[in-house]
Structures are given as structure tokens and as C-alpha cells.
Amino acid sequence: MKKPLGLYVHIPFCARKCAYCDFASFAGREGDMAAYVNCLIAEMEKRALPNRQISTLYIGGGTPSLLPPELMARVLSALRRHFDFTQDAECSCECNPGTVTEEFLRVLKNGGVNRLSFGAQARQEHLLRLLGRIHTWAQVEEGVRLARACGFENLNLDLMLGLPAQTVQNVRDTLSAALSLSPTHLSCYGLIVEEGTKMQAMVESGQWPLPDEDTEREMYELCRETLAQHGFAQYEISNFALPGYACRHNADCWRREEYLGLGSAACGFLGNIRYQNPPALSDYLAHCPAQETVLSPEDAQFESVMLGLRMTEGVSEEAFLRMHGVSLQSVYGEKLKKPLAQGLVEWKDGFLRLTRRGMDVQNSVLVELL
């Protein structure tokens, strides 16, 4: 049996740059799309691994749904040509409401995509406008309706918390509107104010005041409680799924399984090497090489803990031993004494995991372990 492998494909084009976004995404570069797809296909040829099978595919961005359907069809058929997919591969594609068309969704369906993720963010139009999103909530509803009509059953909605001017009641209304669309998965992300973004300038100038820490925590707790009441299990800090619908691609990344990344800014991880393709579109189009980092055993062990503790299941002792040839206890036993005594981490059924309290102060736990 071939060893499974994840695959990430980055589509860096966006209709407009959102106010909070520092992702490698570009507006107004539609003219580069065809050349970009050619480069992607060339990279598939270069990185194809005939002895591995793709168990998860994630097409992210940017806005993959901005790609014209014929270009997305080329990407999907080239992926199938260059990679061997498992029978039950999870194949996700990010879609932005306001850009999805029935034709595009049918191309995804025919190309083997079986999971869609919509960047819905918030029910309130004033918040969507503040974020610089191009869509309305009515377009979220229409996107989901179209997706269902095209046969997609596994749908995620991304929601945002801690936005300027957002209230707890706004979050309640957003959750209720999102749940009425019957998603299988919800991601509830706290806003991170990134350097150099319009969001940072507006927050720092005082024009867009952020909710205080207690209010933001209340929003997060509201998500946890409401989603639990609706049968969603939290499996990662920001991610909730109905039974059987956790995103396998992301869970594998947090379990530090290997994956290939294709496209500008895409990262990949194989053996003890992590690589990142050039983030600038022009560099990627000029076939500039990826940057590679060789991980030391200590870096690799810390990665396992840092990523694994994001998940509610935690870090598997057995997987750690298999991956690194040493036990989790022998590497971190001493450093774990303090967070264990403080009730921030616990051992449970062969896993090291954060407690509920530890989840709130995850960064300080990681500092202890560094």
C-alpha cells in the first residue's frame, strides 16, 4: 500500500484585498491566471511522487472560486494526471460567496472535489463591509443553495469573532443564520490584526475599536456552547464539526503528517524538510526556487507538540514515538511538570493535551516547553 500524503494547492487571486488580510493573495491580477495555471501544472510534474497516494487535497487561497471554470477544470484534471488519489480522498475547495457560479461548482464536482469551505464571516452587512468582503449574507445563502443543488453535502462556513463594532448579539445572530444553512463544519476564528493591513491602521488610529478581552471570550464561549448544543464537536481551537466531518486535511497537518504544497507561497513538508514556494506572484511565475529548511530533531519534536496541542485530542504518545524515535515523556517530561501542576495540560488515554484552561493560554504553555 502506498503511503498517504496531503496536497495543498494555492490560488492567489482575489477580487479585492480585504481590510484584515495579509495572506499571499492579489487583487487585479486576473491577466496572470492562465500563466499561473501553466506554472502550477509544471510544478505538479516536478513534484509528483508516484510512490505516494493523495489522501487529502485542499485548494485554498486567495479565492479559488475566482478562477474561470475552464482554468479550474485544467487544474483538477492535471492533479488527477500527476497524482494517484485514494478512493476516499477528501478534496476541499475554498469558495467565496459572491464569486461562485453553478458552472464553477459543477467543474469542482466533476473534478472530484467533495468538500466546500465558504468564507461567510458574519451575518451583518456592516461587518462584511468593514472587513472589505465583497459579498452579502444573501450571497452566502445563495452559494450554499447552489452547492447543494450541485450535490455537495460536506460544507464548511468560516466565521469571524472579535471584529471592531461586533457585539455578542451579532455573533449569536451569525451562528443562528449559519446553523440554519445546515453546514457539517464551522470554523470560528478570532480576528488577528496583522501588521501593515488597513485593519491595523484603523484599529491603531482608534477609528475601529476592538471588543475587549472579556467580550471576545464571551463570543468564543458562545460559539462553543451553541455549537455543542447543535451536535458539533470541537476538535481544534477554532474548528467544530458534526461527527465524521472534521477536516482530515487540516487534522493531518496538525498531526504533523507530510504534505506537498503547490503554487505561490505554498508550503510543503516531506521528511525533515519544509519548503515554501516564492510568495510573490511574479517570482513564482518566473519559476524562482522554493526556500527549503532542514529541521533538526529538536525542531521536529517541538513542531509535533506545538501543532498537536491545537487539537482537542492533543499529541499522541504513540505517534510521537513512531515519528521521532524517542518518547514524548523523555523529551518533555521535565518541562511538563509546571504546566501539569498548574492544571494547564493533562495526560489522557495516551495523549498529552491542553485542559480547558490551558486552551486559553496556549502560547504560555508552549513557551514553557520551548
By CB under 6 A, is residue 63 in contact with ligand SF4? yes
> Min. distance of Cβ 57 from ligand SF4 in angstroms?
19
By CB neighbour count within 10 A (0-12 exposed, 13-18 middle, 19+ buried), where does 218 fall? middle
Q: What is 41-95 written as a DSSP string?
A: HHHHHHH--TTEEEEEEEEEES-GGGS-HHHHHHHHHHHHHHSEEEEEEEEEEEE
Residues within window 94-113 making contact with ligand SF4, judged by CB under 6 A:
96
Distance of CA 181 to the CA centre of its chain: 21
**Residue nearer to ligand SF4 on the CB measure, 202 or 233:** 202
Residues within window 119-158 making contact with ligand SF4, judged by CB under 6 A:
119
- CA atoms of 194 and 197, how far apart (whole Å): 6
How many residues are present in the chain? 370
**Residue nearer to ligand SF4 on the CB measure, 65 or 234:** 65
- CA atoms of 245 and 340, how far apart (whole Å): 31
**Residue nearer to ligand SF4 on the CB measure, 26 or 302:** 26
By CB under 6 A, is residue 14 in contact with ligand SF4? yes
Stretch that binds ligand SF4, among 19-27, 147-155, 238-246, 308-316 (CB under 6 A): 19-27
By CB under 6 A, is residue 261 in contact with ligand SF4? no
By CB under 6 A, is residue 21 in contact with ligand SF4? yes
Q: Which of 17, 29, 47, 109 binds ligand SF4 (CB under 6 A)?
A: 17
By CB under 6 A, is residue 29 in contact with ligand SF4? no
> Min. distance of Cβ 136 from ligand SF4 in angstroms?
15
By CB under 6 A, is residue 18 in contact with ligand SF4? yes
Beta-bridge partner residues of 44: none
**Residue nearer to ligand SF4 on the CB measure, 10 or 324:** 10
Which residues lie near ligand SF4 (CB under 6 A)?
A: 14, 17-18, 21, 23, 25, 61-63, 96, 119
